[in-house]
Amino acid sequence: MNPKRPIDDATDALIKVTLPGHAAAGIPGVVHSMGPALAQLGPRRTLALFTSMNQKEGFDCMSCAWPDPESRKTLEFCENGAKAVIWEATPITVPSSFWAEHPVDELATKSEYWLGQQGRLIEPVYKAAGDDHYRPVSWDEAFALAGAALRGLDSPHQAAFYTSGRASNEAAFAYQLFVRAFGTNNLPDCSNMCHESTGTALSEVIGIGKSTVSYDDFERADLIIVMGQNPGTNHPRMLTALEDAKRAGATIVSVNPLPEAGLQRYKNPQTVRGMIGKGTTLADQFLQIRLGGDMALLQALSKRVLEAEAARPGTVLDQAFLAEHCVGLDELAAHLAQLDEAEVLAATGLTGAEIDELADRYIRAERVIITWAMGVTQHKKAVAGIKEIVNLLLLRGNIGKPGAGASPIRGHSNVQGDRTMGIWERMPDSFLDALAREFPFEPPREHGVDAVQGIQAMQRGDIKVWVSLGGNFVGAISDTAAAESAMRGTDLTVQISTKLNRSHAVTGKAALILPTLGRTEIDRQASGVQFVTVEDSVCAVHASRGRVEPVAPNLLSEVAIVSRLARATLGETSGIDWEGFESDYDVIRDHIAAVVPGCADYNEKVRRSEGFVLPNGPRDSRTFPTAVGKAILTVNELERVECPPGRLLLQTLRSHDQFNTTIYSRNDRYRGIKKGRDVVFVNPDDLDELGLDDGQHVDVFSEWPGQPDRELRGMRIVAYPTARGCAAAYFPEANVLIPLASTAEGSNTPVSKAVVVRLEPARTVG
Ligand SMILES: Nc1nc2c(c(=O)[nH]1)N[C@H]1C(S)=C(S)[C@@H](COP(=O)(O)OP(=O)(O)OC[C@H]3O[C@@H](n4cnc5c(=O)[nH]c(N)nc54)[C@H](O)[C@@H]3O)O[C@H]1N2
Ligand SMILES: Nc1nc2c(c(=O)[nH]1)N[C@H]1C(S)=C(S)[C@@H](COP(=O)(O)OP(=O)(O)OC[C@H]3O[C@@H](n4cnc5c(=O)[nH]c(N)nc54)[C@H](O)[C@@H]3O)O[C@H]1N2
Ligand SMILES: [Mo]
């Protein structure tokens, strides 16, 4: 049922597998994966980029949302940040002739890697319904086409407006304003597929959906538990913070089905030290958990904490904190008293002794931070699992004191800021009320669609126009075949993008591509050079200034595109100063100051060299703005992820040489993979049991009740030390296997980390 997947020039017949490496990053890694692209940049552009990246007068790295330390080094970036910057700042551009030479059908046969290699998009292009090609159009024509399509809808709810988390605060604020003035809350975003479970859980139990730690807390912690996160690849500068913490005496524990580079040393006694100096093993304890087992582990830990308190009353729980700031202790204690240890061991795949050891570390530590990312958020019970993280932390007062806290590590560099600015299909009434006071329109109140609901609405024919501010929605969402067929059924898709990707090849009947400036580039407007602002994982907001010349003269900034799209759609009489927005971003920031909580005097505060930190009740004053005004310990029913005999649980994850759907190279150095991505990692003992071999090619089938199997063909097996019963394959290739309806309870995030699969010897090797 799935379309044939695009094949690259570098075919997977060439896949090479060696022993997994561990984090030994740095410039050699960059040169290795980006050599040709780096050479194309030229010395001047290279120097300008690498001396201003993450500097106070420079631009914010767009590779992840890891925060910047207050005192920065001259080169404050990592290997993967360098790749992201080189990928964006390439001087290679897509020529006008490209569009006549490559029909859209042909682009749909190309891989993400090939599409990204074509270079930066530099002119607006349009594909009319029935046409097979895009053709260059003027900006005016592009906006007129988009505006006419939006105005022609029967209802504003027939359009949806997606955002990927690279958009600046200014672009995001202007975009949500346009969308709400247009009349809908259909504002799905990448966060729906990412940390939505975090926002849902934390908002309910501590009153704010964000991290309760600041950067400096890491070096004050006694214990840092890294759950479901691969910082060596996805937040490499976090390894530096972990290393500093360790040097200051902290213990580090990794909870993960995989031994990930930088946290664990695995077999290969390599001693190379890269630029960020990662020759060391950071984790003092590694719990190789079964996929989806975290909730059971956390309950077991909390149970042991409560038992220790019962054995030594008054010495383990933070009774004063619990009495003053929390509700729900008795219910939690009663519930956990019933916890079935056998069930915990089955769900986690761990031994009782391993859990005892971590419980003991937790009880001995005065200040504990728990960090997490997609390994925790992309599960059916993710929201409940994150509430269990909070339970464990609250028991010993580990929220709102130095060196302690709940620390979701965000993905996209400004995904958190975009939410703060109102990119959400369910913004609270307080935000909509503030918009209504500031602007001459009444915002819609009805909730909009999220990412999965957006596809479902397309399937029903309810969404006819899809606009994307960045990202690669069909590439990133689950159930690729279903998503692509739904997208093809829309009347118009509009992509605001820097580079080509799958979402430009799988489009509505008509399609527009609006090319935009990247974050590295100088943004000149009528009032002069502009800067934008972003928010990192620890709620710090600061300015980002592009430092290199735009790759082409005709590009518009995201703010300019959004403002012109708004004018073309709403007319000149919307009573909102869109022209002012475009010519001077201070105008937008003044509105942000008036509308967004915590942003008073925004223009002044973001001009401080260090920016400012948004207020956060739990972190700052142990104030918990929940429904009951206190932090809530919750009771969550344990539910084990079932996996029938002969099947494996598959997670989809990132290689070291990709940024989400952007593929920098087909290698995954830290996992020992070269020249290919069509691999499935399986534990050797499971291979024995299944009668399969390392190096063998298999077809992977995912099973979902009442539906035909989804399939991913021709995957090479890599025997790998993942947890028993578990497997892993790369996102986005493996998205075909994830049923659209398989989502997390409460957050509707696709369950990308636990797909029940069956492996069968491949029908065709490939
Ligand atoms: N270079 C680079 N940087 C990035 C990105 C990128 O693609 N490339 N993407 C950015 C984005 S948007 C995001 S959201 C982040 C993603 O950052 P991560 O969450 O680190 O990304 P994943 O590759 O999805 O890795 C998930 C990790 O969780 C583990 N895991 C999977 N399932 C479970 C589980 O059930 N329990 C536990 N305990 N662990 C589990 C996996 O083995 C893996 O180590 O990175 C951001 N930064
Ligand atoms: N199976 C599976 N699916 C997943 C995940 C998973 O772990 N497993 N992870 C999920 C997660 S965490 C996320 S965040 C989503 C990511 O979903 P998206 O954010 O939609 O995807 P990206 O691949 O980050 O988008 C890359 C594209 O963004 C555009 N772009 C880059 N920079 C800019 C810019 O500055 N401005 C504009 N306008 N465009 C730009 C480029 O055209 C590029 O091709 O995917 C999700 N999907
Ligand atoms: Mo993400």
Q: What is the pLDDT of residues 92-106, one digit of tens each?
A: 999 999 999 999 999
Mean predicted confidence (pLDDT) in 237-252: 92
pLDDT of residue 12: 57
Residue 461 CB contacts under 8 Å (≥ 6 apart), including other chains: 489
Instruction: Find the mean pLDDT for residues 126-147.
Output: 98
- Provide the mean pLDDT of the chain: 93
For residues 269-282, give the mean pLDDT.
43
Q: Where are the beta strands (DSSP E) in 23-179?
A: 125-127, 135-136, 159-163
- Structure confidence at residue 20 (pLDDT): 61
Per-residue pLDDT reduced to its tens digit, 674-724: 999 999 999 999 999 999 999 999 999 999 999 999 999 999 999 999 999
Mutate to test the pocket of ligand 1, among 60, 66, 234 (most ligand atoms within 8 A of CB): 234
Q: What is the pLDDT of residues 400-414, one digit of tens each?
A: 999 999 999 999 999
Mutate to test the pocket of ligand 1, among 374, 407, 680 (most ligand atoms within 8 A of CB): 374
- pLDDT, residue 107, reads 98
Domain covering 97-193+414-518+555-575 in this structure, CATH number: 3.40.50.740
- Mean of pLDDT values over 733-741: 98
pLDDT band at 27 (very low <50, low <70, confident <90, very high): low
Cβ-based neighbours of 561, under 8 Å, separated by 6 or more: 496, 514, 516
Compute, in angstroms, the gap from residue 233 CA to the centroid of ligand 1: 8
Ligand 3 ion: Cβ-proximal residues, 5 Å cutoff: 194, 411
480 CA → ligand 2 middle, Å: 14
Residue 383 pLDDT more than 50? yes
pLDDT value for 53: 87
Amino acid letter, residue 517: L
Query: Which homologous superfamily is 196-408 in?
Result: Dimethylsulfoxide Reductase, domain 2 (3.40.228.10)
Check whether 75 has a pLDDT greater than 80.
Answer: no
What's the gap in Å between 221 CA and the centre of ligand 1?
Answer: 23
- Nearest atom, ligand 1, residue 233 CA: 1
Closest approach atom of ligand 1 to CA 292: 35
Task: Give the pocket of ligand 1 (CB within 6 Å).
Answer: 63-64, 80, 194, 227-230, 233-235, 255-258, 260, 289, 291-292, 294, 373-375, 379, 411-412, 651, 653-654, 658-660, 753
Residue nearest ligand 1's atom 13 by CA: 411
Taking the domains of the chain in order of start, what are their residue ranges? 24-89, 97-193+414-518+555-575, 196-408, 648-761
Q: Which residue has the tokens 């009320």?
A: 433
Contact indicator for 232, 670 with CB cutoff of 8 Å: yes
Residue nearest to atom 6 of ligand 1 (CA): 659
Mean pLDDT (whole number) for 736-753: 98
CB 65 within 8 A of CB 536: yes
Regarding the beta carbon of 731 and ligand 2, being less than 6 Å apart is answered: yes
Q: Decide: 497 in ligand 2 pocket, CB within 6 A.
A: yes
Ligand 2 binding pocket includes 245 (Cβ within 6 Å): no
Asked whether 215 and 538 are in contact (CB, 8 A), the reply is yes
Helices (H), 287-340: 294-311, 319-325, 329-337
Whole-number Å distance between alpha carbons of 248 and 162: 43
pLDDT value at 474 more than 60: yes
Measured from the CB, is residue 411 less than 6 Å from ligand 2? yes
CATH class of 648-761: mainly beta
- The pLDDT tens digits of the residues spanning 187-225 come to 999 999 999 999 999 999 999 999 999 999 999 999 999
Determine if ligand 2 sits within 6 Å of the CB of residue 195: no
On the question of pLDDT at 31 being above 90, the answer is no
Res 277 pLDDT > 50: no
Q: Which of 497, 367, 369, 484 is nearest to 105 (CA)?
A: 484
pLDDT at position 72 over 80: no
Q: What is the pLDDT of residues 608-653, one digit of tens each?
A: 999 999 999 999 999 999 999 999 999 999 999 999 999 999 999 9
| pLDDT bucket at 28, cuts 50 / 70 / 90 | low
Query: Pick from 336, 280, 326, 283: which is nearest to 306 by CA?
Result: 336
376 lines ligand 2 (CB under 6 A): no
Question: Using a 6 Å cutoff on CB, does residue 332 contact ligand 2?
Answer: no
Same fold, 196-408 and 648-761: no
Question: How sure is the predictor about 41, in pLDDT bands with cuts at 50, 70 and 90?
Answer: confident
Give the pLDDT confidence score for residue 265 in this predicted structure.
Answer: 57
Distance 476 CA to ligand 2 centre (A): 6
- Nearest protein CA to atom 28 of ligand 2, as residue: 471
Atom 30 of ligand 1: nearest residue by CA position: 375
Three-class secondary structure of residue 254 per DSSP: strand
The answer to whether the CB of 347 is under 6 A from ligand 2 is: no
**Atom 7 of ligand 1 has which residue's CA nearest to it?**
659
Q: State which ligand 1 atom lies nearest to the alpha carbon of 81.
A: 1
Please check the confidence at residue 278 and state whether its pLDDT lies above 90.
Answer: no
- Mutating to test ligand 2, I would choose from 514, 654, 660 the residue with most ligand atoms within 8 A of its C-beta, which is 660
- How does residue 573 score in pLDDT terms, banded at 50, 70 and 90? confident
